[in-house]
Structure 1
Amino acid sequence: MAGTAELEALYSDIEKAAGLLDEPCSRDAVWPILTAYADALPPHAQMAYRVATNSAGLDFRIASLAPDLHPYALALANGLTEKTDHPVGDLLSDIQDRFPLDYHGVDFGVVGGFKKTWTFFPLNNLQKVTELADLPSMPRSLSENLEFFTRNGLDGKTSLIGIDYPSRTLNIYFLGSPPEMREPDAVRSMMREHGLAEPSEQMLTLAQQATGYYTTLSWDSSKIERITFAVVVRDLDAFPAGVEVDPKIEKFAKDVPYTYAPATRKGIYGVTAAPSGEYYKLQSWYQMPPQMVQMLAPDAG
């Protein structure tokens, strides 16, 4: 549980982070979210910032929420989002009822407020897309692309599900994607298969280094809408050579506040292919549980 003083300190750091990007931070949007989840926060909850090169706007993620908590129901109960009859509103309950869970998280924009829930499966019990596709509220685009996922050795590797309520989209993350599917020729073929932009050399390089891979699906299309490769990195302000990044994002990566030892600092680069082109995401952890620090930086301390 986080008290008022801890929440005020957290809000202050989120506000500072937004200032590095010359963006406003709406207390009216952020404070109700912090207080709604305060009682559910363990002492060392996982928290992170997220910014993308294709859009303005800083997002913040709070994770480490207990598996028996329903973060979307809590958002509804606190007036953070509006109830919907769309299947997106049922998906988290369907997942929670049928699959073993490790923990949950939520994402919010510092201006727009509540956006997403994240549901993490145990690392020793990753799930099958073939079983997730049977959920009644799951978009048909998952079942219609099962051949792609199984052909590429991804069945049984689902590590988490992200549900975006305003955009009514779904992110399915895979841990440990096979090296052969991340080779340059395979990545080029994959993008052509799904009508996505031709990958740059920077994307091809990062794909080979990626530990995470995820796709974005929707209820309105049978297509895979976006594909992202994710890489855990130490040097957050060193974007891949040849990638044009707004100087404000570079400053953000260097100076954004965080709460743990500098020697253990980590972040994630994500490179995303969409029909309109390619863009990059940066996730920088604000706070990490001790076991996560040890997992990502085993030689630190």
Structure 2
Amino acid sequence: MSGNSESVELYSTIEESARLLDVPCSRDTVWPILSTYEEAFTHPAAVVAFRVATALRHAGELDCRFRTHPDVRDPYALALSKGLTPATDHPVGTLLSDIHDRCFVESHGIDFGVVGGFKKIYGAFTPDDLQEVSKLAAIPAMPRSLAENAEFFVRHGLDDRVGVLGIDYPNRTVNVYFNDVPAESFEPTSIHSTLAELGMAEPTEQMLKLGGKAFGLYVTLGWDSPKIERICYAAATTDLTKLPVPVEPAIEKFVQSVPYGGDDRKFVYGVALTPHGEYYKLESHYKWKPGAVNFI
């Protein structure tokens, strides 16, 4: 295995973590991704995190995400050139380029599964240049569902607070992450009304408790429906015992199996709501820096 020492070390860490979680890890799936973006792991501001989710469709998977080197302006073109993801004539294939044509993207993130391979690219905007929904909705390749839900974002004070866009290539969806979310958005009555308005499942008490501690939220949109497919509330902590909810058994096993660097361990615990129910996700940072963008 040839590559810099950081990418080789990360591969070994992923392989061992997957083994402890009983997740199959194939070098042919993981190593091409790490070697393609290996400069990301040598950068002083390197950020690497692992994630698991309790939803059935996420069973048997371990996700890894990292921030790319700032010099990599188009990580999607790089992924195509290395065969990490197939070329497509679907709008998802031109969305990142269209975003770059209209917005300044400060940094990118890559998300992949140990089993599923290359999945997502994130584009993060600077904290003092949050984007407006109306501007993003005008991007040619953007799902029309963003424009269809513009009034929803205005009503909830989110229309000018987009901090990150996440493009999911296999599932052909887009995550829209909001920064500086109004505090009232996390109150139980607001969560109830928001979920009802979107046609999501009734929240459990556990969800409401976690939502009350959230720092942010995001929605998932697609090209095939005008509706918001999913909404997620996320809370950050360095101590899971301080969260107001018990940790799911599958997530507890994950916490015990994946390593971390540094003295403090950072977690982002999220609850995602769909019309069919809710599920939980935990992101554990292997390497992180204060001020780094949180995804879940």
TM-score surpassing 0.5?
yes
Where do 1:70-109 residues align within 5 Å? 70-109=74-113
Residues 63-121 of structure 1, C-alpha deviations (whole Å, 9 max, x = no match) = 14316521111100000010000000111001111111210011010011100001110
Pick one of 210, 235, 252 that aligns with 1:206: 210
Q: TM-score, normalised by structure 2?
A: 0.92
1:256 to 255, 258, 270: 258
TM-score (norm 1): 0.90
Report the equivalent of 1:24. 24
1:227 aligns with 2:231: yes
Percent identity reads 53
**Partner residue, 2:49:** 48
Matches within 5 A, 1:113-262: 113-236=117-240, 240-241=244-245, 245-246=248-249, 248-261=250-263
Task: Give 2:266's aligned amino acid.
Answer: K
CA distance in 1, matches of 2:244, 2:224: 34
Matches of 2:54 and 2:163, distance apart in 1 = 25
User: Which residue does 1:266 correspond to in 2?
Assistant: 266
Question: Which secondary structure state, in structure 2, belongs to the residue aligned with residue 10 of structure 1?
Answer: helix
Q: Secondary structure at the residue paired with 2:76? A: helix
1:206-230 deviation per Cα after TM superposition (whole angstroms, max 9, x unaligned) = 2221111100000000000000001
CA contact (8 A) 2:200 2:276 kept: yes
**1:186 shift after superposition:** 1.4
Over the aligned positions, Cα root-mean-square deviation in angstroms equals: 2.0
* Long gaps (5+) in structure 1: 297-301
- CA shift, 1:6, in A, is 2.0
Q: Secondary structure at the match of 1:209?
A: coil
Amino acid at match of 2:32: P
Count of aligned pairs: 289
Segments of 5+ residues of structure 2 without an aligned counterpart are none
Partners of 1:228 and 1:273 within 8 A in 2:
yes
- Cα distance, 1:9 vs. partner? 0.9
For 1:230 and 1:87, locate their aligned partners in 2 and report how far apart those are by CA, in whole Å: 28
Q: Distance in 1 between matches of 2:40 and 2:267?
A: 24
> Is structure 2 residue 49 aligned with structure 1 residue 37?
no
**Does the CA-based 8 Å contact 1:236-1:254 persist in structure 2?**
no
* 1:239 CA drift (Å): 6.5
In the aligned structure 1, how far is the partner of 2:214 from the partner of 2:70?
28
Runs of 4+ in 1 over 6 A off after TM superposition: none
